[in-house]
Structure 1
Amino acid sequence: MVSSPALCRAALLAILLGSSGHTVAAPVPDTLAQRLAACISCHAREEKRDAYFPRIAGKPAGYLYNQLLNFREGRRNYPLMTYMVAHQSDAYLAEMADYFSRLAPSYPPLAGQQASATAAQLERGQALVEHGDAARKIPACTACHGASLGGVQPAIPGLLGLPADYINAQFGAWRNHTRRAAAPDCMAEIAGRLSEPDVAAISQWLSRQPPAAAHVAARPARPLPLECGSMPAAARP
């Protein structure tokens, strides 16, 4: 009996692979986790990580969704992120946000990523985080980000477990108008009221706080001190 061409090709391929000692690789599963594995290479949960890549695991899905939209729509500027989300639909960005929001956050030590700080600087940072500065209409960070600073649903991120350099950089982006959010942009308004020493004090104090006890609150404990466009923008498709 004459074999079919397809069978002949299959037999030839088996002979070639067998003679070379190579094996056929197993197919890669098409899952959301597999597609988003590249994100972990930057937003890793391991100890060795770049100070300017934030942890995203466990943050509110609405917040993550807003940030993906902001990169896609040009309100945030980082070429690699813009390239990755430029042609993604709202629905797919929402899937990505949901996936990372369900991952358990890990907080390895930030040793080597903290600049020296004076006692007076840390005291000032704590005062601003916990009480704000009423004279300059600066609300406490806890008034929006929750008493534990772990974030608030649906769209306010946690502030702990982040390097001081990253926090400084984000405040700088708001102050320089290179980072924006849905209007009204409450963080841009607050950042404009803070002095550079205040920003440094806040970032140094926050980066030194143990994040283990932080948790995402289900809702704000009281009305937010400023109107934030990010809250309604977090309504995902």
Structure 2
Amino acid sequence: MRPVVAAAFILAGLHLATNACAQAEGARPNPTAKVTDSMAQRMQACVVCHGKEGRATSAGYYPRIAGKPQGYLFNQLKNFQEGRRHNEAMSHLLQHMSDDYLRAIASYFSELDLPYPPARAPGLSAEQQQLAKTLVLKGAPDRQVPACVACHGDGMAGRLPAMPGLLTLPSDYLTAQLGAWRTGQRKAREPDCMGEIARRLSPEEVGAVARWLSAQTLPLGTKPAAAALEPLPMRCGSSEP
């Protein structure tokens, strides 16, 4: 798709995204604003839900996309476009876009370097915090649940080329995504490793991990880890863009 045509689809889709998110964010479109044909302007449809320049918003659901690996962002755009993930606004925005343009969108957000929110109390008991830290750092080998750090990087900031960072994402979002994998509402390319992992976790474990991850933070300038030299602990279709 040519950039100008793609821009038209994005700007048109902004109205749908605005309707979906305006109530939560208090957002209001400005019909008198001058539109310039730049990548930042085209991405305004994304900003309505994901926050300024791709940061997570205070709405409690929409994830930060700034600084995520380009391969991960491209995979998620394709998952929405091809129906493995479900969101009306995302599907509408992406339905006519070419792979080249989706890669351009993924590249734009992957290159943003923005501060993470400060750490805050997770609201977990000491027992729940220990449970979450054990699953994140060590996994549950008896149930073939690998440690989160094995795929998402020791700093949990993601791993190239296509594993996302998980720290500071809203706990509601993390809980919803793990729940969607558990029930088959969210899928990835086969073999769908996250679907397998989520189904091996209890609802209590999902809640503890989600709240613990959301309460951590990362220093400014943190980047996704380099690609792993050793094979991942599970075969994962989404590990490559």
TM superposition score category, shorter chain reference: 0.7 to 0.9
CA positional deviation for 1:215: 3.0
1:91 equivalenced with 2:106 (yes/no): no
Unaligned runs of 5+ in 2: 1-31
**Is the 2:68–2:158 contact (alpha carbons within 8 Å) kept by the matching residues of 1?**
yes
Partner of 1:3: none
Please show how residues 100-139 of structure 1 align to structure 2 within 5 Å.
Answer: 100-109=109-118, 116-139=123-146
RMSD after superposition? 2.0
Partner of 2:196: 189
Q: What is the TM-score when the length of structure 1 is the normalising length? A: 0.82
For residues 188 and 227 of structure 1, the distance between their equivalents in structure 2, rounded to whole angstroms, comes to: 12
Distance 1:131 1:26, change over 3 A: closer
Please show how residues 1-237 of structure 1 align to structure 2 within 5 Å.
Answer: 28-45=35-52, 49-109=58-118, 116-212=123-219, 214-232=222-240, 234=241
Unaligned runs of 5+ in 1: 1-24
CA positional deviation for 1:42: 1.2
**Is the 2:137–2:148 contact (alpha carbons within 8 Å) kept by the matching residues of 1?**
yes
CA positional deviation for 1:161: 1.4
Partner of 2:7: none
For residues 41 and 115 of structure 1, the distance between their equivalents in structure 2, rounded to whole angstroms, comes to: 27
**Is the 1:59–1:157 contact (alpha carbons within 8 Å) kept by the matching residues of 2?**
yes
**Is the 2:71–2:162 contact (alpha carbons within 8 Å) kept by the matching residues of 1?**
yes
Distance 1:54 1:110, change over 3 A: farther
- Structure 1 window deviating more from structure 2 (198-207 vs 89-98): it is 198-207
Distance 1:47 1:153, change over 3 A: closer
Q: Which has the larger radius of gyration?
A: 1
Measured against aligned partners, the alpha-carbon deviations of 1:118-145 in whole angstroms (never above 9, x if no partner) come to 1100110000000001111110000000
Amino acid at match of 2:131: R
**Is the 2:67–2:223 contact (alpha carbons within 8 Å) kept by the matching residues of 1?**
no
Identity %: 48
**Is the 2:56–2:169 contact (alpha carbons within 8 Å) kept by the matching residues of 1?**
no
